């Protein structure tokens, strides 16, 4: 059956874009990885790569067409042995809601177009921070983050938000949507594109008693500001003998997104969790994102709040409470099990929970721990679980060397060595800069299948 090429999303918030140019003509041979078209928005231009081989059978959207909705079929590829007569077999374009998370460019769909699989829901264990019987509301993670900031800004006039495009544009990922209208330009501040500069302004403001929430468009850009974060924010309390604090939150997307290549895909979890004086938070669910961000804003110490671009559009239940706070430094068991402990955080939980579902089909019950906070790390929860299961697997999108998984493995060895029935296994991103090509990017990241393989290995299955 002919394969449809869909209009890809450049970001989680993109709903439509312009089909700027076709680089292949109808009838031309297509190989996987060939660039077949260019699309653009007001913020970026992106190449559309073919993920299948065959012949470009029909261009459905002509070049120069503006405002093409995400997931609209833009072309049809004929497989080997198919001809123009087979074009009628292609699935009819279906009205689809614009995707909130960015799929790889040149994704394919077969009739009927499948809906995106929902993120695994952590429902096995009740959240101890939520009173029984609490009413829940469904929110995306970006909405939960926005509400956390808005609630804290209403509560404390010293809290303000600053960063690139956080005000007039409502945030690069729409996380700060509506804040400018409610709080005004003095408390929601658009900055120049100079991370070293505005991070320093934020640190200085925090040293005078204000409580800045500094957004980085991506933590890759925070490398420009790392001196301010580490040498100024993290060390000032110690170097001043406790006389000067720095209550500040640095937040924004961290890690891989979708085809943004090596310089925009790095995971900084281990970098920041290495530093005394910083607290490092990396939530997975909408409820945790809200409760932990509120806690971070109130914390007297500098907090690195690592979000994930891929997760912004994911939905989850958030407690409808007047003041929902989750303590920093407390992990959560999201799925109980007795055979192996799987430990992860942020988007790594996606692989961990999917793997736990697959392992259960083979009779292996995995206990899944969401760390939520990387520094301080909840060693007690990890050790208690490993003492029960005797086996552990860590899952992270960052690199293995000096990674958070290596630290977890060391703590298990130091505190639960006699309880281990197998060496600790680590699943991580591959030891290469992130490739741009969609097929190579997928190979560079962990997968649920790799987590399953690691869990089975430590269970000797």
> Distance between CA 458 and CA 317 in Å, rounded?
33
Residue 264 falls in the annotated catalytic set: yes
Task: Please tell me which residue in 82, 143, 264, 309 is annotated as part of the active site.
Answer: 264
**pLDDT of the chain along its 461 residues, tens only?**
688 888 887 665 667 888 888 999 998 988 877 888 888 876 666 778 887 788 888 999 999 898 888 888 999 888 877 777 777 666 554 433 333 333 334 333 333 433 444 444 434 466 767 888 889 999 999 999 999 999 999 999 999 999 999 999 999 999 999 999 999 999 999 999 999 999 999 999 999 999 999 999 999 999 999 999 999 999 999 999 999 999 999 999 999 988 888 999 999 999 999 999 999 999 999 999 999 999 999 999 999 999 999 999 899 999 999 899 999 999 999 999 999 999 999 999 999 999 999 999 999 999 999 999 999 999 999 999 999 999 999 999 999 999 999 999 999 999 999 999 999 999 999 999 999 998 999 999 999 999 999 999 999 99
Hunting for tokens 């962990």 — which residue is that? 446
Please state, in angstroms and rounded to a whole number, the distance separating the CA atoms of residues 293 and 80: 52
Q: Which two tokens stand for residue 317?
A: 């239940």
**At a CB cut-off of 8 Å and minimum separation 6, what does 293 contact?**
145, 148, 149, 249, 251, 281, 283, 305
Structure-block tokens of residue 356 = 């736990």
CB contact burial 410-447 (16+ within 10 A = b; e otherwise): ebbeebbeeebeeebbbbbbeeeebbebbeebeebbbe
pLDDT for residue 34: 84
Q: For position 7, what pLDDT does the model report?
A: 85
Entry pTM: 0.77
pLDDT at residue 126, rounded to an integer: 65
pLDDT at 121: 40
Q: How far is CA 146 from the centre of its chain?
A: 16
Position 108 scores a pLDDT of 36
Question: Choosing from 82, 195, 309, 407, which is the catalytic residue?
Answer: 195
Q: Which residues pair with 6 in a beta bridge?
A: 73
Q: What is the pLDDT of residue 15?
A: 74
Q: Residue 204's pLDDT is what?
A: 97
Strands (E), 166-302: 188-190, 211-215, 249-253, 279-281
Length of the chain measured in residues? 461
Residue from 272, 2, 254, 270 nearest 111 by CA: 2
pLDDT of residue 5: 86
Annotation marks residue 196 as catalytic:
no
Handedness of CA 242, 378, 410, 369 (dihedral sign): negative
CA distance 368 to 381: 11
């Amino acid at each position: 059956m002919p394969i449809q090429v869909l209009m890809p999303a450049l970001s989680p918030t993109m709903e439509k874009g312009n089909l700027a140019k076709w680089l292949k003509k109808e009838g031309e041979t297509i190989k996987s990885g060939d660039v077949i078209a260019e699309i653009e928005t007001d913020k970026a231009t992106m190449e559309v790569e073919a993920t299948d081989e065959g012949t470009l059978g029909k261009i459905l959207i002509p070049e120069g067409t503006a405002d093409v909705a995400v997931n609209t079929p833009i072309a049809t590829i004929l497989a080997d042995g198919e001809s123009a007569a087979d074009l009628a077999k292609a699935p009819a374009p279906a009205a689809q809601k614009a995707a909130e998370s960015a799929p790889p460019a040149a994704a394919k769909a077969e009739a009927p177009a499948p809906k995106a699989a929902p993120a695994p829901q952590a429902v096995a264990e009740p959240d101890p921070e939520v009173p029984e019987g609490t009413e829940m509301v469904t929110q995306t993670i970006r909405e939960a983050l926005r509400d956390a900031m808005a609630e804290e800004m209403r509560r404390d006039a010293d809290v303000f938000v600053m960063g690139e495009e956080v005000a007039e544009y409502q945030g690069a990922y729409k996380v700060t949507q509506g804040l400018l209208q409610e709080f005004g330009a003095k408390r929601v501040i658009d900055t120049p594109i100079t991370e070293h500069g505005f991070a320093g302004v934020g640190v200085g403001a925090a040293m005078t008693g204000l409580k800045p929430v500094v957004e980085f468009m991506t933590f890759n850009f925070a490398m420009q500001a790392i001196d301010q974060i580490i040498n100024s924010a993290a060390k000032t309390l110690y170097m001043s003998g406790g006389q000067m604090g720095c209550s500040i939150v640095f937040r924004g997307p961290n890690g891989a997104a979708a085809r943004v290549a090596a310089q925009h895909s790095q995971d900084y979890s281990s970098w920041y969790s290495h530093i005394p004086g910083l607290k490092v938070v990396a939530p997975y669910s909408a409820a945790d994102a809200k409760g932990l961000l509120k806690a971070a804003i109130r914390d007297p110490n500098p907090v690195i709040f690592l979000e994930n671009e891929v997760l912004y559009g994911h939905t989850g239940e958030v407690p409808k409470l007047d003041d929902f706070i989750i303590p920093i430094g407390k992990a959560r068991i999201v799925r109980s099990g007795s055979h192996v402990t799987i430990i992860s955080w942020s988007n790594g939980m996606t692989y961990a929970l999917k793997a736990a579902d697959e392992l259960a089909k083979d009779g292996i019950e995995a206990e899944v721990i969401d760390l939520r906070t990387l520094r301080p790390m909840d060693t007690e929860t990890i050790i208690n679980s490993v003492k029960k299961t005797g086996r552990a697997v860590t899952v992270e999108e960052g690199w293995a060397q000096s990674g958070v998984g290596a630290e977890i493995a060391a703590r298990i060895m130091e505190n639960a060595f006699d309880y281990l029935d197998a060496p600790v296994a680590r699943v991580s991103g591959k030891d290469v800069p992130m490739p741009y090509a969609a097929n190579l990017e997928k190979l560079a990241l962990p997968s649920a299948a790799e987590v399953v393989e690691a869990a089975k290995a430590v269970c000797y299955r």
